[in-house]
Amino acid sequence: MQKFYVIGIGPGAPEEMTIRAKQALAEADIIAGYGTYIDLVKPLFPDKEYLQNGMTGEIKRCQLALEKAKEGKTVAMVSSGDSGIYGMAGLVLELAQGMEIDVETVPGITAAASGASLLGAPLMHDFAVISLSDRLTEWDLIVKRLNNAAEADFIIVLYNPRSKGRPDHIDRAREIFLQYKSASTPVGIVKNIGRTGETVILTTLGEMNIEDVDMFSTVFIGNRQTYIKDGKMITPRGYLEKKGNHQ
């Protein structure tokens, strides 16, 4: 059966792509994906055939790529981070049903993981990942999840926090969080991870500047135990507290 890879290429830097992802890309005849991600892969594989189109042409892009696979080509579809986390893996698997194509997903480092390591160790306890994009999800449902996650004192990671089409979603999320979390709750904003312009901002829920957040940012909101010390955002897992060994 014809092979079709759906590959998470990690946040951006080539050294944060897995060896398995590189092997799958090397095997492919055609590499498909959104232009920004293709640009990250092209320097590593300049001689491949590329199939790219805009951000919102996902269905068309997948259908074209699957057609190429039916013609007998080995295709690799790339997503940033992990392809199964707000990536293309789900859509490819849905569209490939009944097509006799062997879809293999190759995991990658998602922005929650790469961003957390730049901040310190904010995700040491239970956390919730929420996308603020209402392009495919009702805003009311997003609001419900923001409320429930904040009430349950999850550490919260926000993907798609802000774009031109939804400039105020991050502010609305912040207002919801402030109903459950104190204004001094640590917030980490990580932009362009592994890419030119990589930026790390440490602030609080009360003081965060919405203008610092864009569509290439991932935002981390701490739980009640999270603190910032020496430039690191840390959520204690509880080891020291358990020993009665408070710092």
Contact 163, 215 (CB under 8 A): yes
Under the binding rule (CB under 6 A), the answer on residue 190 touching ligand SAH is yes
In the complex, which residue's CB is closest to ligand SAH? 81
Query: For residue 3, which phi and psi values (nearest 5 degrees)?
Result: -85, 140
Give the amino acid at 127: F
Complex with ligand SAH: residue 8 or 222, whichever CB lies closer: 8
Contact 205, 189 (CB under 8 A): no
Complex with ligand SAH: residue 161 or 186, whichever CB lies closer: 161
Under the binding rule (CB under 6 A), the answer on residue 87 touching ligand SAH is yes
Under the binding rule (CB under 6 A), the answer on residue 195 touching ligand SAH is yes
Under the binding rule (CB under 6 A), the answer on residue 193 touching ligand SAH is yes
Complex with ligand SAH: residue 93 or 245, whichever CB lies closer: 93
Query: For residue 60, which phi and psi values (nearest 5 degrees)?
Result: -60, -45
Q: Using CB under 6 A, which of 105, 160, 223, 235 touches ligand SAH? A: 160
Stretch that binds ligand SAH, among 38-46, 74-82, 119-127, 135-143 (CB under 6 A): 74-82
Q: Using CB under 6 A, which of 65, 76, 81, 234 touches ligand SAH? A: 81
C-alpha span between 140 and 179 (Å, rounded): 17
Contact 52, 33 (CB under 8 A): yes
What is residue 237's three-state secondary structure?
A: coil
C-alpha span between 225 and 15 (Å, rounded): 33
Under the binding rule (CB under 6 A), the answer on residue 223 touching ligand SAH is no
The count of chain residues that interact with ligand SAH, using the rule CB under 6 A, is 24
C-alpha span between 142 and 133 (Å, rounded): 9
Binders of ligand SAH among 7-66, rule CB under 6 A? Answer: 11-12
Under the binding rule (CB under 6 A), the answer on residue 80 touching ligand SAH is yes
C-alpha span between 208 and 203 (Å, rounded): 6
Minimal distance in Å, beta carbon 32 to ligand SAH?
Answer: 15
Complex with ligand SAH: residue 4 or 34, whichever CB lies closer: 34
Stretch that binds ligand SAH, among 27-35, 51-59, 82-90, 178-186 (CB under 6 A): 82-90
Q: Using CB under 6 A, which of 66, 75, 79, 223 touches ligand SAH? A: 79
Compute the C-alpha angle 61/166/220, nearest 5°. 90
Q: What is the dihedral of CA 127, 13, 201, 163, to 10 degrees?
A: -80
C-alpha span between 167 and 148 (Å, rounded): 23
Residues near ligand SAH, by CB under 6 A? 11-12, 79-82, 85-87, 110-111, 159-161, 190-195, 215-218
